């Protein structure tokens, strides 16, 4: 039985459905690549937590994508290198000015686009599993 909470609807709605403009604007404006990285991490996190809930488990109170992925790696195979990079842009953030920063600074536009594409791919994969 699937849980009542579904990340693509209601308050837990995923970034792709609740705020697609932040992605599009961030990809257009080079100085907002950190925002794209931040929202991509949030999208993947919410998708993974929905998948964890679908297994009738409680998602851990963690933002660590690798930890979350390990709970559902029997259902979906995700690239741990990309999850690790997204973690760096979110978990290591402590202050608003550093949102989406990677160890070397803001992601370049190509990295931001890759994060966006990856988050969209994860979202679509998990949405298909939950149907």
Q: Which residues pair with 105 in a beta bridge?
A: 102
Contact 68, 50 (CB under 8 A): no
17: in domain: yes
Can you give the three-state secondary structure of 75-111, one letter per residue? CCCCCHHHHHHHHHHHCCCCCHHHCCCECCECCCHHH
Residue 70 CA to residue 80 CA, distance in Å, equals 10
pLDDT of amino acid 78:
97
Would residue 111 count as lying in a domain? yes
Q: Examine residue 27 and state whether it is found in any structural domain, yes or no.
A: yes
Q: Which domain range does residue 89 map to?
A: 10-130
**Looking at the 3D structure of the chain, how many domains does it have?**
1
Q: Is residue 1 part of a domain?
A: no
Per-residue pLDDT tens digits for 92-130: 665 556 666 677 778 888 998 999 999 999 999 999 999
What pLDDT is recorded for position 33? 84
Of 94, 91, 75, nearest to 83 by C-alpha is 91
83 has which bridge partners? none
Does 37 fall in a domain? yes
* 17 vs 75, more confident: 75
Q: Is the pLDDT of residue 9 over 50?
A: no
CA angle 84, 6, 8 (to 5 degrees): 70
In the prediction, which pLDDT does 27 show? Answer: 74
Residue 42's CATH number: 1.20.120.330
Q: Is residue 3 domain-resident? A: no
Flag whether 5 is in a domain.
Answer: no
Instruction: Give the model confidence (pLDDT) of 31-44 as tens digits.
Output: 788 888 888 998 99
Residue 126 belongs to a domain? yes
Over residues 83-94, mean pLDDT: 79
Res 1: pLDDT: 41
């Amino acid at each position: 039985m699937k849980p009542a909470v579904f990340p693509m609807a209601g308050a837990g709605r995923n970034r792709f459905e609740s705020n697609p403009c932040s992605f599009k604007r961030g990809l257009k404006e080079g100085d907002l690549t950190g925002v794209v990285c931040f929202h991509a991490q949030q999208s993947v996190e919410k998708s993974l937590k929905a998948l964890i809930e679908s297994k009738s488990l409680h998602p851990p109170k963690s933002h660590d994508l690798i930890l979350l992925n390990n709970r559902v790696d029997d259902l979906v195979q995700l690239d741990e290198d990309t999850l690790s990079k997204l973690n760096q842009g979110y978990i290591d953030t402590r202050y608003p000015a550093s949102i989406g920063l990677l160890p070397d600074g803001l992601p370049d536009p190509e990295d931001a686009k890759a994060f966006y594409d990856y988050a969209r791919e994860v979202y679509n994969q998990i949405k298909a599993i939950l149907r």
